[in-house]
Chains A and B, each alone.
Chain A
Amino acid sequence: GQQLNQSPQSMFIQEGEDVSMNCTSSSIFNTWLWYKQDPGEGPVLLIALYKAGELTSNGRLTAQFGITRKDSFLNISASIPSDVGIYFCAGQLPGGSEKLVFGKGTKLTVNP
């Protein structure tokens, strides 16, 4: 099946630092979504991107839909302890599919 390569797999940062993570694919996607999963919880939608080149912010989070439609990145500025969790990217393939393809996640640890 289709695969999304998400990197890095894990990050250990100090509180206050900025964070950047990305997803790439060999396939074109129509939509990119970024989710956060807290321990023991379901994923929660952070940002949805629908157009190539689109740059969208949600508080301290900023995500971009790559121009080639094969990648997306998520930035977190001035990290805080509650940013800890696993961040997943997800993409929707062209052709009107209702299905999403998920990356394997980036596990973020923030040291106070």
Chain B
Amino acid sequence: NAGVTQTPKFRILKIGQSMTLQCAQDMNHNYMYWYRQDPGMGLKLIYYSVGAGITDKGEVPNGYNVSRSTTEDFPLRLELAAPSQTSVYFCASSSRTSGRVVYEQYFGPGTRLTVT
């Protein structure tokens, strides 16, 4: 298993540009998450999904959009990039087993985004 994969690894955007950060997992996990990590800070939840077709906002959703058309993929869309969105973005996934949510989340390697 590749686990959780993210592309691209690095990206520089100009203010106002848009882009999609890709995330895929091959562990058949129901739940997927997008976090951002700013220097010296913990991880802040942007959006999450409990299954295909179902998404919900996290702590810091403004400026972002997500979709979940398949179990495997959970792309994050930035429509009008702003300098405040300069950050490292992590995708994660977790599963449900025998009716119990397994809270251990598994993370991808991250996408480092700079908006100038």
Binding site for B on A (CB under 8 A): 1, 4, 6, 31, 33, 35, 40-45, 48, 88, 90, 92, 96, 98-100, 102-105
Q: What is the bound-complex CA distance between A45 and B108, given in angstroms?
A: 12
Q: Which residue of chain A has the shortest Cβ distance to B105 in the bound complex?
A: A100
Q: Evaluate contact between B103 and A48: CB separation under 8 angstroms.
A: yes
A64 to chain B, nearest CB (A): 17
Check if B53 is an interface residue, CB within 8 A of chain A: no
Check if B25 is an interface residue, CB within 8 A of chain A: no
Supply 7 further A-B pairs (C-beta < 8 A) apart from A6-B42, A96-B101, A102-B43. A41-B110, A43-B43, A45-B104, A99-B33, A100-B103, A102-B42, A105-B42
Please judge, given known A-B contacts A41-B110, A99-B58, whether A33 and B104 are in contact too, CB under 8 Å: yes
B45 contacts across to A, CB distance below 8 A: 99-100
B48 contacts across to A, CB distance below 8 A: 98-99
Please judge, given known A-B contacts A33-B104, A43-B43, A104-B40, whether A98 and B50 are in contact too, CB under 8 Å: yes
B95 to chain A, nearest CB (A): 10
A1 contacts across to B, CB distance below 8 A: 59
Q: Which residue of chain B has the shortest Cβ distance to A42 in the bound complex?
A: B107
A40 contacts across to B, CB distance below 8 A: 110
A96 contacts across to B, CB distance below 8 A: 101
B43 contacts across to A, CB distance below 8 A: 43, 88, 90, 102
Q: What is the bound-complex CA distance between A45 and B40, given in angstroms?
A: 19
Q: Which residue of chain B has the shortest Cβ distance to A6 in the bound complex?
A: B42
Q: Which residue of chain A has the shortest Cβ distance to B40 in the bound complex?
A: A104
Q: What is the bound-complex CA distance between A96 and B50, given in angstroms?
A: 12
Q: Which residue of chain B has the shortest Cβ distance to A9 in the bound complex?
A: B40
Digitize B39-79: 1 where CB-to-A-CB distance is under 8 Å, 0 elsewhere.
01111110010100000001100000000000000000000
Q: Evaluate contact between B105 and A45: CB separation under 8 angstroms.
A: yes
A-B residue pairs, 7 tightest by C-beta: A42-B107, A102-B42, A102-B43, A104-B42, A31-B103, A92-B103, A43-B107
Please judge, given known A-B contacts A98-B31, A98-B50, whether A42 and B110 are in contact too, CB under 8 Å: yes
